[in-house]
Structure 1
Protein backbone atom coordinates (compact mmCIF):
# COMPACT_ATOMS: atom_id res chain seq x y z
CA UNK A 1 0.00 0.00 0.00
CA UNK A 2 1.40 3.39 -1.03
CA UNK A 3 0.64 6.27 1.32
CA UNK A 4 1.35 9.75 -0.03
CA UNK A 5 2.23 12.43 2.53
CA UNK A 6 1.95 15.83 0.86
CA UNK A 7 2.96 18.86 2.88
CA UNK A 8 3.39 22.55 2.41
CA UNK A 9 6.79 23.73 3.63
CA UNK A 10 6.91 27.33 4.88
CA UNK A 11 4.91 27.91 8.06
CA UNK A 12 3.86 24.24 8.07
CA UNK A 13 7.05 22.16 8.37
CA UNK A 14 9.76 24.84 8.19
CA UNK A 15 9.86 28.30 9.78
CA UNK A 16 11.72 31.57 9.50
CA UNK A 17 12.98 33.44 12.56
CA UNK A 18 9.89 35.64 12.44
CA UNK A 19 7.38 32.81 12.15
CA UNK A 20 8.89 30.10 14.35
CA UNK A 21 7.58 31.46 17.67
CA UNK A 22 9.28 32.07 21.00
CA UNK A 23 8.54 28.79 22.78
CA UNK A 24 11.64 27.01 21.45
CA UNK A 25 15.22 27.57 22.54
CA UNK A 26 17.86 28.26 19.90
CA UNK A 27 19.72 25.04 20.74
CA UNK A 28 16.61 23.00 19.96
CA UNK A 29 16.49 24.21 16.36
CA UNK A 30 18.29 23.04 13.24
CA UNK A 31 18.69 25.10 10.06
CA UNK A 32 17.30 23.64 6.82
CA UNK A 33 17.83 26.56 4.42
CA UNK A 34 20.61 29.07 3.88
CA UNK A 35 20.70 32.24 1.78
CA UNK A 36 24.06 33.96 1.30
CA UNK A 37 25.46 31.48 3.84
CA UNK A 38 22.98 32.66 6.49
CA UNK A 39 20.34 30.31 7.95
CA UNK A 40 16.85 31.41 6.96
CA UNK A 41 14.53 28.49 7.78
CA UNK A 42 14.40 26.06 10.67
CA UNK A 43 12.85 22.91 12.10
CA UNK A 44 13.15 21.61 15.64
CA UNK A 45 15.68 18.82 16.10
CA UNK A 46 12.85 16.61 17.35
CA UNK A 47 10.82 17.39 14.23
CA UNK A 48 13.78 16.37 12.07
CA UNK A 49 13.96 13.08 13.97
CA UNK A 50 10.27 12.44 13.29
CA UNK A 51 10.77 13.23 9.61
CA UNK A 52 13.51 10.63 9.25
CA UNK A 53 11.42 8.09 11.15
CA UNK A 54 8.57 8.19 8.62
CA UNK A 55 7.55 4.71 7.55
CA UNK A 56 9.03 3.38 4.28
CA UNK A 57 5.40 2.90 3.22
CA UNK A 58 4.96 6.70 3.20
CA UNK A 59 6.04 8.65 0.12
CA UNK A 60 6.78 12.28 0.98
CA UNK A 61 5.89 14.94 -1.62
CA UNK A 62 6.77 18.57 -0.80
CA UNK A 63 4.07 20.94 -2.04
CA UNK A 64 5.08 24.59 -2.02
CA UNK A 65 4.41 28.02 -3.45
CA UNK A 66 8.16 28.43 -3.80
CA UNK A 67 9.62 28.28 -7.29
CA UNK A 68 11.91 25.37 -8.16
CA UNK A 69 15.05 27.43 -7.47
CA UNK A 70 13.69 28.57 -4.09
CA UNK A 71 12.71 24.99 -3.21
CA UNK A 72 16.22 23.77 -4.08
CA UNK A 73 17.68 26.08 -1.41
CA UNK A 74 16.18 23.79 1.23
CA UNK A 75 19.08 21.40 1.61
CA UNK A 76 18.96 20.64 5.32
CA UNK A 77 15.98 18.26 5.39
CA UNK A 78 16.84 15.53 2.94
CA UNK A 79 19.87 13.31 2.81
CA UNK A 80 21.28 13.37 -0.76
CA UNK A 81 20.07 9.84 -1.44
CA UNK A 82 16.62 10.54 0.02
CA UNK A 83 15.50 13.66 -1.88
CA UNK A 84 11.85 13.16 -2.88
CA UNK A 85 11.21 11.78 -6.35
CA UNK A 86 8.35 14.25 -6.78
CA UNK A 87 7.96 17.84 -5.63
CA UNK A 88 5.14 20.23 -6.45
CA UNK A 89 6.40 23.82 -6.74
CA UNK A 90 5.09 27.22 -7.86
CA UNK A 91 1.83 26.36 -6.08
CA UNK A 92 1.14 23.48 -8.47
CA UNK A 93 2.15 25.05 -11.77
CA UNK A 94 5.25 22.85 -11.89
CA UNK A 95 5.74 19.22 -10.91
CA UNK A 96 9.34 18.09 -10.51
CA UNK A 97 10.17 14.45 -11.21
CA UNK A 98 13.70 13.61 -10.12
CA UNK A 99 14.42 17.33 -10.11
CA UNK A 100 13.17 18.03 -13.64
CA UNK A 101 9.85 19.73 -14.58
CA UNK A 102 7.21 17.55 -16.21
CA UNK A 103 6.46 19.48 -19.39
CA UNK A 104 3.23 17.59 -19.98
CA UNK A 105 1.88 19.08 -16.75
CA UNK A 106 3.17 22.66 -17.12
CA UNK A 107 2.00 22.86 -20.75
CA UNK A 108 -1.49 21.93 -19.56
CA UNK A 109 -1.40 24.71 -16.94
CA UNK A 110 -0.17 27.29 -19.50
CA UNK A 111 -3.03 26.43 -21.83
CA UNK A 112 -5.58 26.81 -19.03
CA UNK A 113 -4.14 30.21 -18.00
CA UNK A 114 -4.75 31.49 -21.53
CA UNK A 115 -8.29 30.07 -21.62
CA UNK A 116 -9.12 31.63 -18.23
CA UNK A 117 -7.41 34.96 -19.04
CA UNK A 118 -5.43 34.73 -15.80
CA UNK A 119 -1.86 35.03 -17.07
CA UNK A 120 0.53 37.62 -15.61
CA UNK A 121 -0.11 39.72 -18.73
CA UNK A 122 -3.81 39.71 -17.90
CA UNK A 123 -3.45 40.51 -14.20
CA UNK A 124 -0.83 43.28 -14.22
CA UNK A 125 -3.07 45.98 -15.79
CA UNK A 126 -5.67 45.22 -13.11
CA UNK A 127 -3.08 45.77 -10.39
CA UNK A 128 -2.09 49.24 -11.57
CA UNK A 129 -4.69 50.83 -9.30
CA UNK A 130 -3.16 49.12 -6.27
CA UNK A 131 0.61 49.18 -6.78
CA UNK A 132 0.69 52.88 -5.91
CA UNK A 133 -1.07 52.31 -2.58
CA UNK A 134 0.99 52.90 0.52
CA UNK A 135 0.78 49.31 1.77
CA UNK A 136 2.38 47.87 -1.41
CA UNK A 137 6.15 47.74 -1.14
CA UNK A 138 6.93 45.61 -4.20
CA UNK A 139 5.17 43.58 -6.89
CA UNK A 140 6.95 40.38 -7.90
CA UNK A 141 6.46 37.51 -10.36
CA UNK A 142 6.98 33.84 -9.55
CA UNK A 143 8.70 33.02 -12.82
CA UNK A 144 5.93 33.22 -15.46
CA UNK A 145 3.15 31.80 -13.31
CA UNK A 146 1.65 34.27 -10.87
CA UNK A 147 2.03 37.63 -9.12
CA UNK A 148 2.53 38.39 -5.46
CA UNK A 149 2.98 41.61 -3.53
CA UNK A 150 5.29 42.41 -0.64
CA UNK A 151 3.17 44.49 1.70
CA UNK A 152 3.54 46.60 4.81
CA UNK A 153 1.55 44.59 7.34
CA UNK A 154 1.28 47.52 9.71
CA UNK A 155 -0.94 49.49 7.34
CA UNK A 156 -2.54 46.68 5.32
CA UNK A 157 -6.11 46.39 6.60
CA UNK A 158 -8.64 43.57 6.67
CA UNK A 159 -10.89 45.80 4.56
CA UNK A 160 -8.24 46.05 1.84
CA UNK A 161 -7.87 42.26 1.81
CA UNK A 162 -11.62 41.69 1.58
CA UNK A 163 -11.96 44.25 -1.21
CA UNK A 164 -9.12 42.76 -3.24
CA UNK A 165 -10.36 39.21 -2.63
CA UNK A 166 -13.82 40.04 -3.95
CA UNK A 167 -12.51 41.82 -7.05
CA UNK A 168 -10.10 39.08 -8.06
CA UNK A 169 -12.37 36.18 -7.05
CA UNK A 170 -14.82 37.28 -9.73
CA UNK A 171 -12.02 37.08 -12.30
CA UNK A 172 -10.77 33.61 -11.45
CA UNK A 173 -8.17 34.22 -8.74
CA UNK A 174 -7.66 33.24 -5.11
CA UNK A 175 -5.94 35.66 -2.73
CA UNK A 176 -3.81 34.45 0.15
CA UNK A 177 -2.23 36.70 2.78
CA UNK A 178 0.87 35.08 4.30
CA UNK A 179 2.94 37.39 6.45
CA UNK A 180 4.46 40.10 4.26
CA UNK A 181 3.29 38.39 1.06
CA UNK A 182 -0.06 38.71 -0.68
CA UNK A 183 -0.49 36.10 -3.42
CA UNK A 184 -2.85 36.64 -6.35
CA UNK A 185 -3.18 33.08 -7.57
CA UNK A 186 -4.99 31.94 -10.74
CA UNK A 187 -7.50 29.27 -9.79
CA UNK A 188 -6.07 26.83 -12.34
CA UNK A 189 -2.73 26.94 -10.49
CA UNK A 190 -3.47 25.00 -7.34
CA UNK A 191 -1.85 22.39 -5.17
CA UNK A 192 -4.83 20.05 -5.04
CA UNK A 193 -5.04 19.37 -8.78
CA UNK A 194 -1.28 18.88 -9.08
CA UNK A 195 -1.33 16.49 -6.13
CA UNK A 196 -4.10 14.44 -7.74
CA UNK A 197 -1.85 14.06 -10.80
CA UNK A 198 1.03 12.78 -8.65
CA UNK A 199 -1.29 10.50 -6.67
CA UNK A 200 -2.45 8.82 -9.87
CA UNK A 201 1.09 8.65 -11.26
CA UNK A 202 2.43 6.73 -8.25
CA UNK A 203 -0.87 4.88 -7.69
CA UNK A 204 -1.17 5.98 -4.07
CA UNK A 205 -4.16 4.60 -2.19
CA UNK A 206 -4.12 7.01 0.76
CA UNK A 207 -3.24 10.70 0.99
CA UNK A 208 -2.16 12.58 4.11
CA UNK A 209 -1.81 16.36 3.63
CA UNK A 210 -0.70 19.31 5.73
CA UNK A 211 -0.76 23.04 5.11
CA UNK A 212 -1.41 26.37 6.79
CA UNK A 213 -2.78 28.76 4.16
CA UNK A 214 -5.85 29.13 1.95
CA UNK A 215 -3.63 27.97 -0.91
CA UNK A 216 -3.38 24.63 0.95
CA UNK A 217 -7.03 24.40 1.95
CA UNK A 218 -8.43 22.29 -0.90
CA UNK A 219 -5.43 19.96 -0.81
CA UNK A 220 -5.87 19.35 2.92
CA UNK A 221 -9.65 18.97 2.71
CA UNK A 222 -9.49 16.42 -0.11
CA UNK A 223 -6.94 14.22 1.71
CA UNK A 224 -7.88 11.13 3.68
CA UNK A 225 -6.23 12.74 6.73
CA UNK A 226 -5.41 16.44 6.95
CA UNK A 227 -3.39 18.62 9.33
CA UNK A 228 -3.51 22.41 9.75
CA UNK A 229 -1.21 24.37 12.10
CA UNK A 230 -3.25 26.33 14.65
CA UNK A 231 -1.69 29.60 13.44
CA UNK A 232 -2.77 28.90 9.86
CA UNK A 233 -4.83 31.16 7.64
CA UNK A 234 -6.91 28.08 6.73
CA UNK A 235 -8.05 27.72 10.36
CA UNK A 236 -8.94 31.35 10.89
CA UNK A 237 -11.29 31.47 7.91
CA UNK A 238 -13.02 28.10 8.47
CA UNK A 239 -14.76 27.58 11.79
CA UNK A 240 -16.30 24.19 11.05
CA UNK A 241 -13.80 21.61 9.87
CA UNK A 242 -14.67 17.96 9.06
CA UNK A 243 -13.59 15.15 11.42
CA UNK A 244 -10.65 14.03 9.28
CA UNK A 245 -8.93 17.42 9.73
CA UNK A 246 -6.68 17.83 12.77
CA UNK A 247 -5.72 21.32 13.98
CA UNK A 248 -2.52 21.34 16.04
CA UNK A 249 -2.49 22.38 19.66
CA UNK A 250 0.83 24.17 19.14
CA UNK A 251 1.69 27.08 16.87
CA UNK A 252 4.87 28.14 15.11
CA UNK A 253 7.65 25.60 14.63
CA UNK A 254 6.18 23.37 17.36
CA UNK A 255 3.13 22.89 15.12
CA UNK A 256 5.42 21.40 12.49
CA UNK A 257 6.86 19.05 15.08
CA UNK A 258 3.36 18.04 16.19
CA UNK A 259 2.28 17.33 12.59
CA UNK A 260 5.25 15.06 11.88
CA UNK A 261 4.71 13.22 15.16
CA UNK A 262 1.10 12.55 14.12
CA UNK A 263 2.15 11.36 10.66
CA UNK A 264 4.73 9.02 12.23
CA UNK A 265 1.95 7.55 14.36
CA UNK A 266 -0.46 7.19 11.43
CA UNK A 267 0.32 3.52 10.77
CA UNK A 268 0.65 2.51 14.42
Structure 2
Protein backbone atom coordinates (compact mmCIF):
# COMPACT_ATOMS: atom_id res chain seq x y z
CA UNK A 1 0.00 0.00 0.00
CA UNK A 2 2.91 2.38 0.65
CA UNK A 3 5.90 3.26 -1.50
CA UNK A 4 9.00 5.39 -1.36
CA UNK A 5 9.29 8.05 -4.03
CA UNK A 6 11.98 6.02 -5.76
CA UNK A 7 9.82 2.89 -5.71
CA UNK A 8 6.92 4.79 -7.27
CA UNK A 9 9.05 6.38 -9.94
CA UNK A 10 8.76 10.04 -10.85
CA UNK A 11 5.95 9.53 -13.38
CA UNK A 12 3.66 7.76 -10.91
CA UNK A 13 4.67 10.08 -8.11
CA UNK A 14 3.57 13.07 -10.17
CA UNK A 15 0.26 11.49 -11.20
CA UNK A 16 -1.19 9.80 -8.09
CA UNK A 17 -1.41 12.86 -5.81
CA UNK A 18 0.93 11.27 -3.21
CA UNK A 19 0.38 11.79 0.52
CA UNK A 20 3.29 11.25 2.92
CA UNK A 21 2.41 8.57 5.50
CA UNK A 22 5.85 7.99 7.03
CA UNK A 23 8.53 10.32 8.37
CA UNK A 24 12.00 8.98 9.21
CA UNK A 25 14.95 11.03 10.45
CA UNK A 26 12.81 14.16 10.04
CA UNK A 27 12.32 13.51 6.32
CA UNK A 28 9.44 12.06 4.28
CA UNK A 29 10.05 8.40 3.49
CA UNK A 30 6.87 6.68 2.31
CA UNK A 31 3.75 7.72 0.45
CA UNK A 32 0.29 6.52 -0.54
CA UNK A 33 -1.79 7.66 -3.47
CA UNK A 34 -4.52 9.95 -2.14
CA UNK A 35 -7.22 7.71 -3.59
CA UNK A 36 -5.67 4.74 -1.73
CA UNK A 37 -6.19 6.55 1.58
CA UNK A 38 -9.90 6.91 0.79
CA UNK A 39 -10.27 3.30 -0.29
CA UNK A 40 -8.47 1.87 2.74
CA UNK A 41 -10.52 4.05 5.09
CA UNK A 42 -13.71 2.86 3.42
CA UNK A 43 -12.63 -0.77 3.74
CA UNK A 44 -11.80 -0.40 7.44
CA UNK A 45 -15.24 1.08 8.09
CA UNK A 46 -16.94 -2.04 6.71
CA UNK A 47 -14.85 -5.04 7.79
CA UNK A 48 -12.08 -6.13 10.16
CA UNK A 49 -8.79 -5.01 8.59
CA UNK A 50 -5.60 -6.52 10.01
CA UNK A 51 -2.44 -4.77 8.74
CA UNK A 52 0.20 -7.46 8.28
CA UNK A 53 3.84 -6.65 7.60
CA UNK A 54 7.45 -7.76 7.84
CA UNK A 55 8.21 -4.45 9.53
CA UNK A 56 8.98 -4.52 13.25
CA UNK A 57 6.54 -2.86 15.68
CA UNK A 58 8.77 0.21 15.87
CA UNK A 59 8.93 0.46 12.07
CA UNK A 60 5.17 0.00 11.72
CA UNK A 61 4.32 2.70 14.25
CA UNK A 62 6.17 5.24 12.08
CA UNK A 63 3.36 4.89 9.52
CA UNK A 64 0.23 7.01 9.69
CA UNK A 65 -1.93 4.34 8.08
CA UNK A 66 -5.49 5.46 7.26
CA UNK A 67 -8.44 3.52 8.62
CA UNK A 68 -7.02 3.07 12.11
CA UNK A 69 -6.78 2.60 14.94
CA UNK A 70 -6.64 -1.10 14.15
CA UNK A 71 -7.59 -3.56 16.86
CA UNK A 72 -4.96 -6.06 15.73
CA UNK A 73 -1.76 -5.59 13.73
CA UNK A 74 0.63 -8.37 12.73
CA UNK A 75 4.28 -7.25 12.53
CA UNK A 76 7.74 -8.83 12.30
CA UNK A 77 6.49 -11.22 9.60
CA UNK A 78 4.12 -12.78 12.15
CA UNK A 79 6.59 -12.78 15.02
CA UNK A 80 4.60 -10.15 16.90
CA UNK A 81 0.92 -9.31 17.34
CA UNK A 82 -0.13 -5.85 18.50
CA UNK A 83 -3.48 -5.85 20.28
CA UNK A 84 -4.89 -2.32 20.64
CA UNK A 85 -1.36 -1.05 20.06
CA UNK A 86 0.24 -3.21 22.77
CA UNK A 87 2.54 -6.12 21.99
CA UNK A 88 0.94 -9.43 22.98
CA UNK A 89 3.16 -11.37 25.45
CA UNK A 90 1.37 -14.69 24.93
CA UNK A 91 2.17 -14.68 21.24
CA UNK A 92 5.77 -13.68 22.01
CA UNK A 93 6.09 -16.73 24.29
CA UNK A 94 4.56 -19.00 21.67
CA UNK A 95 6.97 -17.77 18.97
CA UNK A 96 9.99 -18.06 21.29
CA UNK A 97 9.12 -21.69 22.09
CA UNK A 98 8.49 -22.61 18.46
CA UNK A 99 11.67 -21.04 17.10
CA UNK A 100 13.78 -22.64 19.83
CA UNK A 101 12.36 -26.06 19.03
CA UNK A 102 12.28 -25.95 15.25
CA UNK A 103 15.72 -24.88 14.05
CA UNK A 104 18.96 -22.99 14.49
CA UNK A 105 19.13 -19.98 16.78
CA UNK A 106 19.26 -16.40 15.55
CA UNK A 107 22.86 -16.20 16.76
CA UNK A 108 23.85 -19.26 14.69
CA UNK A 109 22.18 -17.94 11.56
CA UNK A 110 23.57 -14.43 11.84
CA UNK A 111 27.03 -15.86 12.39
CA UNK A 112 26.68 -17.98 9.24
CA UNK A 113 25.40 -14.96 7.31
CA UNK A 114 28.26 -12.72 8.44
CA UNK A 115 30.71 -15.37 7.28
CA UNK A 116 29.16 -15.15 3.81
CA UNK A 117 29.24 -11.35 3.52
CA UNK A 118 31.90 -10.46 0.95
CA UNK A 119 34.32 -7.57 1.16
CA UNK A 120 33.62 -6.20 -2.32
CA UNK A 121 30.89 -3.82 -1.19
CA UNK A 122 27.60 -5.10 -2.70
CA UNK A 123 26.21 -5.68 0.81
CA UNK A 124 25.42 -2.28 2.32
CA UNK A 125 24.00 -3.27 5.72
CA UNK A 126 23.11 -6.22 7.92
CA UNK A 127 20.22 -5.83 10.34
CA UNK A 128 18.65 -7.85 13.17
CA UNK A 129 14.86 -7.36 13.26
CA UNK A 130 12.98 -7.61 16.55
CA UNK A 131 15.45 -10.24 17.84
CA UNK A 132 13.62 -12.68 15.56
CA UNK A 133 15.21 -12.63 12.11
CA UNK A 134 17.89 -10.88 10.07
CA UNK A 135 18.31 -9.32 6.67
CA UNK A 136 20.85 -7.76 4.36
CA UNK A 137 20.46 -4.54 2.40
CA UNK A 138 22.23 -5.07 -0.91
CA UNK A 139 22.86 -3.64 -4.35
CA UNK A 140 21.04 -6.22 -6.53
CA UNK A 141 22.87 -5.25 -9.71
CA UNK A 142 26.20 -6.12 -8.05
CA UNK A 143 24.98 -9.25 -6.23
CA UNK A 144 26.58 -12.55 -7.29
CA UNK A 145 24.07 -14.89 -8.93
CA UNK A 146 24.97 -17.80 -6.65
CA UNK A 147 24.65 -15.96 -3.32
CA UNK A 148 20.89 -16.33 -2.78
CA UNK A 149 20.63 -20.01 -3.83
CA UNK A 150 23.55 -20.88 -1.55
CA UNK A 151 22.01 -18.96 1.35
CA UNK A 152 18.61 -20.55 0.75
CA UNK A 153 20.19 -24.00 0.88
CA UNK A 154 21.83 -23.22 4.23
CA UNK A 155 18.63 -21.80 5.70
CA UNK A 156 16.46 -24.71 4.55
CA UNK A 157 18.83 -27.16 6.26
CA UNK A 158 18.59 -25.24 9.54
CA UNK A 159 14.85 -24.60 9.92
CA UNK A 160 14.85 -21.15 8.31
CA UNK A 161 13.78 -19.66 4.98
CA UNK A 162 15.63 -17.15 2.82
CA UNK A 163 14.11 -14.83 0.24
CA UNK A 164 14.81 -11.57 -1.52
CA UNK A 165 12.53 -8.56 -1.89
CA UNK A 166 14.19 -5.85 -3.89
CA UNK A 167 17.29 -4.68 -2.02
CA UNK A 168 16.62 -6.86 1.05
CA UNK A 169 17.61 -10.49 1.55
CA UNK A 170 15.73 -11.99 4.50
CA UNK A 171 16.46 -14.98 6.71
CA UNK A 172 13.42 -15.93 8.84
CA UNK A 173 12.67 -18.93 11.09
CA UNK A 174 10.12 -21.28 9.52
CA UNK A 175 7.97 -20.87 12.65
CA UNK A 176 7.63 -17.11 12.06
CA UNK A 177 4.91 -16.72 9.43
CA UNK A 178 2.22 -14.20 8.69
CA UNK A 179 -0.39 -16.91 8.21
CA UNK A 180 0.11 -18.33 11.72
CA UNK A 181 -0.24 -14.90 13.32
CA UNK A 182 -3.29 -14.03 11.24
CA UNK A 183 -4.87 -17.38 12.18
CA UNK A 184 -4.39 -16.45 15.83
CA UNK A 185 -6.03 -13.06 15.26
CA UNK A 186 -8.92 -14.74 13.45
CA UNK A 187 -9.35 -17.19 16.34
CA UNK A 188 -9.62 -14.32 18.82
CA UNK A 189 -12.08 -12.37 16.67
CA UNK A 190 -14.30 -15.44 16.31
CA UNK A 191 -14.03 -16.23 20.04
CA UNK A 192 -15.31 -12.79 21.06
CA UNK A 193 -18.08 -12.73 18.45
CA UNK A 194 -16.56 -10.06 16.19
CA UNK A 195 -16.47 -12.52 13.29
CA UNK A 196 -18.65 -15.54 12.52
CA UNK A 197 -16.80 -18.85 12.42
CA UNK A 198 -17.35 -19.15 8.66
CA UNK A 199 -16.12 -15.66 7.76
CA UNK A 200 -14.34 -14.92 4.49
CA UNK A 201 -10.71 -13.79 4.42
CA UNK A 202 -9.16 -11.57 1.74
CA UNK A 203 -5.39 -11.02 1.59
CA UNK A 204 -2.80 -9.17 -0.47
CA UNK A 205 0.98 -9.40 -0.69
CA UNK A 206 3.89 -9.12 -3.10
CA UNK A 207 6.86 -11.05 -1.64
CA UNK A 208 7.78 -14.64 -0.88
CA UNK A 209 7.22 -13.92 2.81
CA UNK A 210 3.56 -13.28 1.89
CA UNK A 211 2.91 -16.51 0.02
CA UNK A 212 1.68 -18.49 3.05
CA UNK A 213 -0.75 -15.69 3.92
CA UNK A 214 -2.10 -15.59 0.37
CA UNK A 215 -2.57 -19.36 0.34
CA UNK A 216 -4.56 -19.40 3.58
CA UNK A 217 -6.97 -16.71 2.36
CA UNK A 218 -10.27 -17.52 0.67
CA UNK A 219 -9.38 -14.98 -2.01
CA UNK A 220 -6.02 -13.31 -2.54
CA UNK A 221 -4.47 -10.69 -4.78
CA UNK A 222 -0.90 -9.68 -5.61
CA UNK A 223 0.56 -6.94 -7.80
CA UNK A 224 2.23 -7.61 -11.13
CA UNK A 225 5.54 -6.50 -9.61
CA UNK A 226 7.78 -7.68 -6.79
CA UNK A 227 9.28 -10.99 -5.79
CA UNK A 228 6.21 -13.15 -6.43
CA UNK A 229 5.85 -11.67 -9.91
CA UNK A 230 9.51 -12.39 -10.69
CA UNK A 231 8.95 -15.98 -9.55
CA UNK A 232 5.79 -16.30 -11.65
CA UNK A 233 3.95 -17.35 -8.48
CA UNK A 234 0.31 -18.37 -8.93
CA UNK A 235 -2.41 -20.05 -6.86
CA UNK A 236 -6.02 -21.12 -7.53
CA UNK A 237 -7.40 -18.38 -5.24
CA UNK A 238 -5.18 -15.64 -6.66
CA UNK A 239 -5.89 -12.52 -8.72
CA UNK A 240 -2.99 -10.55 -10.24
CA UNK A 241 -3.31 -6.81 -10.83
CA UNK A 242 -3.08 -5.25 -14.26
CA UNK A 243 -1.19 -2.24 -12.88
CA UNK A 244 2.14 -2.05 -11.06
CA UNK A 245 3.58 0.23 -8.39
CA UNK A 246 1.28 2.61 -6.53
CA UNK A 247 -1.42 1.98 -9.16
CA UNK A 248 -1.38 -1.68 -8.13
CA UNK A 249 -2.06 -0.58 -4.55
CA UNK A 250 -5.10 1.33 -5.77
CA UNK A 251 -6.26 -1.67 -7.79
CA UNK A 252 -5.88 -4.01 -4.81
CA UNK A 253 -7.97 -1.77 -2.55
CA UNK A 254 -10.62 -1.37 -5.26
CA UNK A 255 -10.72 -5.17 -5.64
CA UNK A 256 -11.20 -5.62 -1.89
CA UNK A 257 -13.93 -2.97 -1.67
CA UNK A 258 -15.71 -4.58 -4.61
CA UNK A 259 -15.54 -8.01 -2.96
CA UNK A 260 -17.08 -6.55 0.20
CA UNK A 261 -19.82 -4.73 -1.72
CA UNK A 262 -20.75 -7.84 -3.67
CA UNK A 263 -21.01 -9.94 -0.53
CA UNK A 264 -23.27 -7.41 1.19
CA UNK A 265 -26.04 -8.65 -1.12
CA UNK A 266 -25.32 -12.35 -0.54
CA UNK A 267 -27.05 -12.78 2.80
CA UNK A 268 -26.05 -16.43 3.00
CA UNK A 269 -22.35 -15.43 3.11
CA UNK A 270 -20.49 -13.89 6.07
CA UNK A 271 -18.58 -10.62 6.16
CA UNK A 272 -14.95 -10.72 5.06
CA UNK A 273 -11.96 -10.03 7.26
Task: Give the TM-score normalised by structure 1.
Answer: 0.88
Match of 2:25 in 1: 36
Structure 2: segments with no counterpart, 5+ residues: 263-273
Give the 3-state SS of the residue equivalent to 1:56 in structure 2: helix
String of CA shifts for 1:168-209, please: whole Å, max 9, x gaps: 112111112112211101110110111110011102411110
SS in 2 for 1:60: coil
- Provide the rounded CA distance (Å) in 2 between the counterparts of 1:48 and 1:84: 15
Preserved CA contact (<8 Å) 1:130 1:136: no
Structure 1: distance between partners of 2:13 and 2:2: 16
Residues 1:154 and 2:145 are matched in the alignment: no
Does residue 184 (structure 1) correspond to residue 178 (structure 2)? The answer is: no
Per the alignment, do residues 240 and 94 of structure 1 end up closer, same or farther by CA in structure 2, a change over 3 Å counting? closer
Larger Cα-atom Rg: 2
Of 17, 20, 23, the residue aligned with 2:5 is 17
Offset from partner CA, 1:106-163 (integer Å, 9 cap, x none)? 1011111111233311212222321234332221101211111111222113322122
- Tell me the secondary structure at the aligned position of residue 19 of structure 1: helix
Give me the whole-angstrom Cα distance separating, in 2, the residues matched to 1:55 and 1:146.
Answer: 30
Partner residue, 2:78 = 92
1:61, 1:86 within 8 Å by CA — same for their partners in 2?
yes
CA distance in 2, matches of 1:33, 1:260: 19
Structure with higher helix content:
2
CA distance in 2, matches of 1:73, 1:61: 17
Decide which moves more: 23-32 or 224-233.
23-32
List gaps (5 residues or longer) in structure 1: 1-12
Task: Please say if 1:78 is aligned against 2:66.
Answer: yes
Distance 1:67 1:119 in 2: 19
> Match of 1:252?
245
Task: Give the CA RMSD over aligned residues.
Answer: 1.7
Which structure has more RCO (C-alpha within 8 Å, separation ≥ 6)? 1
CA contact (8 A) 1:14 1:41 kept: yes
Q: 1:250 Cα shift? A: 0.6
- Structure with bigger strand share is 1
**Mapping for residues 160-171 of structure 1, pairs under 5 Å:** 160-171=147-158
Partners in 1 of 2:13 and 2:112 — Cα distance?
A: 45
1:156 and 1:98 map into 2 onto residues whose CA distance is 41
Bigger drift between 125-134 and 254-263 goes to 125-134
Report the TM-score, using the length of structure 2 for normalisation. 0.87
1:26 is aligned, of 3, 7, 14, to 14
Stretches of 4+ aligned residues off by more than 3 angstroms: none
Number of aligned positions between the proteins: 252
